[in-house]
Structure formats: C-alpha cells, structure tokens
C-alpha cells in the first residue's frame, strides 16, 4: 500500500517506521517546509493519506487529499470546527475520511469505560467530576482532543452538567465540567477522570508510555480504510 504522510514530525516519523515494517511504501513525507512537493505527486498512485500535522494546517492538508479522492486518516486535534466541511467534501468526492482524537486501542477502550462509569454515577449528585490531562510541551492545543472526547462521554450521561470548561484557575460552577491541562515533558499522554465527594474519591486513569500505540493504531486504520467510503470513526473500526 502507498501511504502519503501529511505531517512529518515525531508522530509522522514513527508512523513511517511502522508502516514500512509492515511492507507499505511511503509515497511522500509532507511538512511545512516542503508542502510544494504535493504538486509533484500522482494522486492515483496513493492508496491512503495519514494526517498528523498541526491544527492550522489540518484542514488544508485533509481537503487537498479528499478533493483528489484519496482516503484520509486524521489524528490532528484543535481544528474540529471545520469538520462538517470535511465531512461534506468526503461525501461529494465519494471517498473516505476517518478522524479520531486518539488512535490507541487502549484509549478507545478507556473511552468506553469512562462512559460506563459516568452512567453509573449520573444520579450521584454528591460527587464533583473533573478531568486532568498531561502532555508534552510540543502539544499546542489545550485541552487535548482525547480529554474533550472523555468530557463529551461524561456530558452525554450526566444531565446536570451543561458543558466542559478549561480550568485556568477561575471558580468553576457546579454545572460545568472542568478540564485541567498540563504540559510536562516527555509525557506522551495521561488522562485522569476524578469523582470526588466528602466520603471518598473514584479515579480512572489512562497513561500512554510512548507514541507507538497511537502510530500503530493509525497504520492499522489506514490498512482497514483503503477500500471504504464515507465518514468513519473508531467505533466503526473496533466494532464494539
């Protein structure tokens, strides 16, 4: 399979290493310094694009590939206000677009555990709920896309909470779900959900030990999506 890498930072390099170890070819390695190289590529020879770039470049990168009928697997966060446009373009071009805030299989199981715990706690009003996420200092968006997905899972079960809010030291109303974002090297990603009361505290945590789990997940999805069409997600891939 010929894979185009849109974004060639630390994640892109690990993805390339894993993809090549699985017998795939890298059709191009595109970053901010060589984006003009896209014009030299032959879209028909590219089976799938994997996009891990930056929030400010994601929409342009994804739409370039989708417009040329190339399926895209995207893991960049911080641009999702434009996602409806990408989804519409995907349908118009009859190709495939796959977005996940996190490609780790373990994290996606954690999403399910988080939502199940939230359903058990939905009527326990004595517990205050909070999220904390820790990432490396190169991560630009805050909170992380993974934290937002976790927050959305809680909000879907907890009717007393209106929305999540980034905790920047201000007083937090009881009907808001605070997310604390920390940037500490070399943390690949740690996410903790806490339910705290006067009587006890319940916590669940997922800690990534390296970026390899994310990169492997992205390559596995790219292999799976190659001949598919439509807007797809980790739920489709994992078929829970």
Residue 95 CA: distances (Å) to CA of 59, 87, 235? 16, 10, 19
Kindly provide the residue ranges of all beta strands, DSSP E only, lying in 42-189, ordered along the sequence: 48-51, 72-74, 96-99, 128-135, 163-166, 176-183
Beta-carbon contacts of 214 under 8 Å, excluding residues fewer than 6 positions away, are 11, 75, 102, 103, 104, 188, 208
What CA–CA distance (Å, rounded) separates 195 from 68?
Answer: 47
For residue 15 the two structure tokens come to: 């993805």
Instruction: Indicate the DSSP class of residue 35.
Output: G
Partners of residue 205 on adjacent β-strands? 192
Torsion of CA 48, 211, 204, 162, to 10 degrees: -50
C-beta contacts of 35-39 below 8 A and 24+ residues apart: 38/64
Active site residues: 135, 139
Partners of residue 203 on adjacent β-strands? 194
């Amino acid at each position: 399979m010929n894979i185009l890498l849109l974004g060639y930072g630390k994640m892109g390099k690990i993805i390339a290493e894993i993809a090549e170890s699985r017998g795939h070819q890298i059709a191009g390695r595109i970053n901010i310094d060589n984006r003009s190289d896209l014009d030299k590529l032959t879209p028909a020879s590219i089976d799938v694009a994997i996009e891990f770039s930056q929030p400010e470049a994601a929409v342009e990168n994804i739409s370039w590939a989708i417009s040329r009928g190339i399926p895209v697997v995207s893991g960049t966060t911080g641009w999702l206000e434009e996602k409806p446009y990408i989804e519409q373009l995907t349908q118009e071009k009859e190709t495939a677009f796959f977005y996940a805030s996190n490609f780790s299989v373990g994290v996606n199981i954690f999403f399910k555990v988080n939502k199940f715990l939230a359903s058990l706690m939905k009527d326990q009003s004595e517990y205050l709920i909070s999220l904390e996420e820790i990432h490396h200092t190169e991560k630009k968006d805050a909170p992380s896309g993974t934290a937002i997905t976790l927050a959305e899972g809680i909000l879907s079960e907890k009717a007393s909470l209106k929305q999540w809010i980034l905790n920047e030291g201000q007083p937090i109303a009881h009907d808001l779900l605070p997310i604390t974002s920390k940037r500490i090297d070399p943390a690949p990603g740690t996410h903790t959900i806490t339910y705290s009361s006067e009587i006890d505290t319940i916590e669940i945590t997922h800690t990534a030990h390296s970026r390899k789990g994310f990169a492997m997940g992205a390559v596995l999805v790219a292999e799976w999506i190659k001949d598919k069409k439509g807007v797809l997600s980790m739920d489709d891939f994992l078929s829970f």
